[in-house]
Structure 1
Amino acid sequence: MLEGQPCLISRALPSSCEQESKWIYMHYHLLEISSGGKGKRPAADDAARAKKKPLNHHDHDHDHDHHSNCLIPALGRDLSISCLIRCSRSDYGALAALSQSFRALVNSGDLYRFRRQNKIVEHWVYFSCSVLEWEAFDPGSKRWMHLPRMPLPNECFVCSDKESLAVGTDLLVFGREMNSQIVLRYSILSNAWTPGPKMNTPRCLFGSASLGAVAIVAGGCSPQGGLFASAELYDSETRTWVELPRLNTPRKMCSGVFMDGKFYVIGGTGAGGALSCGEEFDLREMRWRVIENMFPVGSGSSGAPPLLAVVKNELYAADYAENLVRRYVKGGNRWVTLGRLPERSASVNGWGLAFRACGDRLIVIGGRRTGGGGGSIEINAWVPGEGPPRWELVAAKASGGFVYNCAVMGC
C-alpha cells in the first residue's frame, strides 16, 4: 500500500476514454513505482512501448482486453494496470463508477489476481456479532462497512454452529441442516451472498486456513458427531474442492494455520479425548507428518478450538484461560510466554473472542455485553517484536459483545 497522498479520482462519469485520463490524477510516487523512475512522470515513448509490449499479467480473454485497453490512454494499458493495482482496495468502488471499462476490470477480479502476482496485499477483517449480520473493517483507513444481510436458508442454519473462511476474494460461511451442510459465499466483487460450493465430505468443527487463492480444511465431524480424518483443498479461482491425503489422527475442534508454506492442523479432540499433537502437510510432497506434543492440552471439551495466528511465519497462541499470549519455538517444539492479552478480551471458554493475524499484526477482537442485550466490540492490535505485547486500541464500536465468526481476507 502506498503512503502519502492518495489518488484523487473524480466522481464524474466520462463519456469517452480520452476524458477518463483527465479525471484521474495519480500521485507522483505511484507513477514512480510503475515507471521505475525517480519522482518523474513516465515519458511518452515509455507509454508507447508499454502499449506495444504486453505484460505477463494480461492473460485474460479478449473481452477483458477490449474493456481495459482505454483505462488511462496517456499511460497505456500496462502502466495503467500497474498503477491501479497499487491503489487501495477501498478506492475500487470509485474506480468502478468512472466508466464501463473500469467497472469491467474491477468486477472481473483481474486486479486482485495482478495484485497477488505482484505481492500487493491489503488485509481486511470480517466478523459477525449477530447470527445473520457481518461487518468488515479496513485497518488502513479505519473504516467500518456493513455487509448485506445473509439470506436465511432455514432455521437450522441459524441455530447450528458455523465456521467461516476467507480465501481469494470470497468469504465462505459453513452451516448445517439436520443432515447436510449449507455453504454461503460472499464476494467482494459483487457485494452479494450466493450459495457456495459444498465440500466433497461436508463437515463442521474443522480446522482451516487460507493462503492466497487456496484454502485447506482438515478434520471435523459429521452432523451426528463422527470424527473425520479427511482433508480437502479449495481453489477460489475455480470454486472447486479437491480431496487430499487423510490425517493420521481423526479430530474435531482443531485449528489450522499456514506457516513456511505448509499447512498445520493443531490440537482438537480425538477418539480418546483432547489431543496435544499437531500434523504438518507438505503441499509439494502431499503427505502429513505428525508432530507430537505440539500444543498443550486444554481444559476440556467445552473450550473453544485453539486460538492461533501466524505472523511472519511465527506461530502465536492466545491462552484465554490465563489471558496470555504465547509464541511457538519451532526448533524446540515448545511455547514461551510473551505477555498478556488486552484487558477487555473477555470470552466464554475462548468462545466469543477472535485472535487473528492481519498482515504484520496480531489482532484481538472482543468486547463485553451490557444490559439489554447490547454491547461493544474492540479491535486491539500489536506488531510482534522484541519485548512484551503492547496492544493498541485500533477501533471500537457499539455491537454485540460476542464474536460468533471472524476471518481475515488478504487480497
Structure 2
Amino acid sequence: MSKGKEMEGEDEIEDLCRNDSKHGSKKRLVARVGGSSSGEPQDADYSVVASLSDELALILARVPRSEYWKFTFVNKRFFSLLKSGELYKIRKEIGVKECSVFMLASGETSWWAFDRQFRSCKKLPILPSDVCFQTGDKESVCAGTHLIVSGKEFEGVVIWRYEFAANKWFKGPNMINPRCLFASATCGTCAFVAGGIGMETNWKVLNSAEKYNPETKSWEPLPGMHRKRKLCSGFCMDNKFYVIGGTNEEGKGLTCAEVFDEKKNDWDLIPNMLKDSPVSTSQSPPLVAVVNNELYSLEASSNELKVYLKGSNSWKNLGPVPVKADVARGWGVAFKSLGDELLVIGASSNSYAGHGMTICTCFPKPQADELHWRSLDKGCTNQMSHFILNCSVMGA
C-alpha cells in the first residue's frame, strides 16, 4: 500500500472512530468484532489480510454489500462476522444503509436480489415450501435483513423468511393472526402489517395489526384499526405506519386512511384521503411509495403519478409513468421507494401490447410539473416476465 493510501486509511479510521464516539458506540463495536484495538493478529488463516483488526472491520462495514462475497474468500473472520449477522449490526450502529431489491417475477421459481442500480444480481436459494405455496399468491415485506414472505401451504398460512446474512430460508414465525390481502410496510428495521382477511377467522375482514421484530424474530400485537379492511396498502411516513384504501367487510371501497403512532400506541383516522382517486374492487391495492417523507401514488387506471399534499389532504398530478399499470388494473407492477428515488417496474409503455419489462427510477419533486424517469440497464432481468408477482426493498 502506498503511503498516501495508508494515510487516507488512517484518516478514515480516525473519522469513523470520532463519529462512533459521539454516539458512545465505539466500545460496543470493538467488543462486537472481538478483542482489543491494538491491531495484533486475531486469526492466522490463509488470507491476504491475515488479521481483521477492529478498525478494519469498521471500515469494511462501509463497503457495499454487493462486494462482500469477494472478502469472504480471503478472510475467515470477515466471513464469520458476515454469516453471523454481526457485520450488519455494525452497519446499523454507524448508520450505513444500502438498498437491495428482492423480486419474484411470473414464471420464475426463485427470488432474485438486485443492487440499487440493477447492475448486479443474485439468485436466492430455492424456497423449500410445498407446491401450494409455490404456485399460490404471496405477499412480502422486509424487516432489517429479513425478507418476509407470507403465503398458503396445504396445512395453512405460513411465513417464510430469508435471512440475508445467512443466505438461507427459514420457516416462521407465523403471525399472531394469519392473514392475506393485508397492508404492510417497513418502518425502521421492523415490519408492520394490518387488516386483510383472517385465515383462521372464517375469512372475515380484519382490523387487527401486528409488528415483526427481526431482532427477536417474533410478532407483537398492535391496537386494532378503526375500520376493517382488505386489499389495502401500507407505507411509513413521518415515522408512522399508514394504512390506505381497500374495501370493508361489505365489499365497499374505502377512501379513508388510518395512521398508527407508536409513541401514542393508537390509530388516527384520516377521512377522504383517497377522495380524488377512483376505488374499484377489481383493481390492485393502491400503488403507493414514500420518498423523503412525501407520499406518491401510481394511479393504475390512468398510468399517472400523483403526490399527496398533506396540508390540503389532496393530490397533485405529476405526469405519466413509463409503465402500463392499466394493463392488469395495477396488478403485476412494482412501485417502491428506493432511498431518495422512486422505482417502478412493469410492462413498458413503449410496447403496444404491454410486453417487455421496463425498470425506471426518478428523483421525485412535489413542486415539479412532470418528472424525469431514468431507465436502468436490465442486465439479468432481460429474460424475465414483465409481470411482477412480489417486490420488496431492503435497506440495511
Instruction: Bin the TM-score by the shorter chain.
Output: 0.7 to 0.9
On the 8 A contact 2:318/2:371 being kept in 1, the answer is yes
What are the Cα deviations for residues 270-322 of structure 1, in whole angstroms up to 9, with x where unaligned? 12411011111111110000000112453421110000000011100000111
With over 3 angstroms needed to count, the CA separation of the structure-2 counterparts of 1:28 and 1:74, relative to structure 1, is farther
Alignment of 1:242 with 2:230, yes or no, is no
With over 3 angstroms needed to count, the CA separation of the structure-2 counterparts of 1:76 and 1:398, relative to structure 1, is closer
1:96 corresponds to: 72
On the 8 A contact 1:346/1:353 being kept in 2, the answer is no
With over 3 angstroms needed to count, the CA separation of the structure-2 counterparts of 1:183 and 1:26, relative to structure 1, is farther
Partner amino acid for 2:248?
Answer: G
With over 3 angstroms needed to count, the CA separation of the structure-2 counterparts of 1:96 and 1:329, relative to structure 1, is same
Structure 1 stretch 307-316 or stretch 360-369: which is displaced more? 360-369
1:5 corresponds to: none
On the 8 A contact 1:127/1:403 being kept in 2, the answer is yes
Kindly, what percent of the aligned residue pairs are identical? 35
Q: Quick one: higher RCO (CA 8 Å, sep 6+), 1 or 2?
A: 2
Alignment of 1:226-241 (within 5 A): 226-241=204-219
**Structure 1 unaligned spans of 5+:** 1-21
Alignment of 1:266 with 2:244, yes or no, is yes
Alignment equivalent of 1:256, drawn from 211, 231, 234 = 234
Alignment of 1:306 with 2:270, yes or no, is no
Alignment of 1:162-311 (within 5 A): 162-177=138-153, 180-223=156-199, 224-272=202-250, 273-296=252-275, 298-311=278-291
Alignment equivalent of 1:393, drawn from 375, 380, 392 = 375
SS in 2 for 1:398: coil
Q: How many residues align?
A: 368
2:321 corresponds to: 341
Alignment equivalent of 2:336, drawn from 331, 339, 356 = 356
On the 8 A contact 1:116/1:212 being kept in 2, the answer is no
Distance 2:10 2:338 in 1: 28
1:57 corresponds to: 29
2:124 corresponds to: 147
On the 8 A contact 2:307/2:317 being kept in 1, the answer is yes
Q: TM-score, normalised by structure 1?
A: 0.82
Runs of 4+ in 1 over 6 A off after TM superposition: 25-28, 71-76
Distance 2:283 2:27 in 1: 51
Partner amino acid for 1:203?
Answer: R
2:61 corresponds to: 85
With over 3 angstroms needed to count, the CA separation of the structure-2 counterparts of 1:141 and 1:293, relative to structure 1, is closer
Distance 2:161 2:345 in 1: 23
Cα RMSD, aligned residues only: 3.0
With over 3 angstroms needed to count, the CA separation of the structure-2 counterparts of 1:173 and 1:343, relative to structure 1, is closer
SS in 1 for 2:34: helix
With over 3 angstroms needed to count, the CA separation of the structure-2 counterparts of 1:289 and 1:257, relative to structure 1, is same
Distance 2:269 2:182 in 1: 17
Q: TM-score, normalised by structure 2?
A: 0.85
With over 3 angstroms needed to count, the CA separation of the structure-2 counterparts of 1:225 and 1:402, relative to structure 1, is same
After TM superposition, give the deviation of residue 232 of structure 1 in Å. 0.5
On the 8 A contact 2:245/2:274 being kept in 1, the answer is yes
Partner amino acid for 1:191?
Answer: N
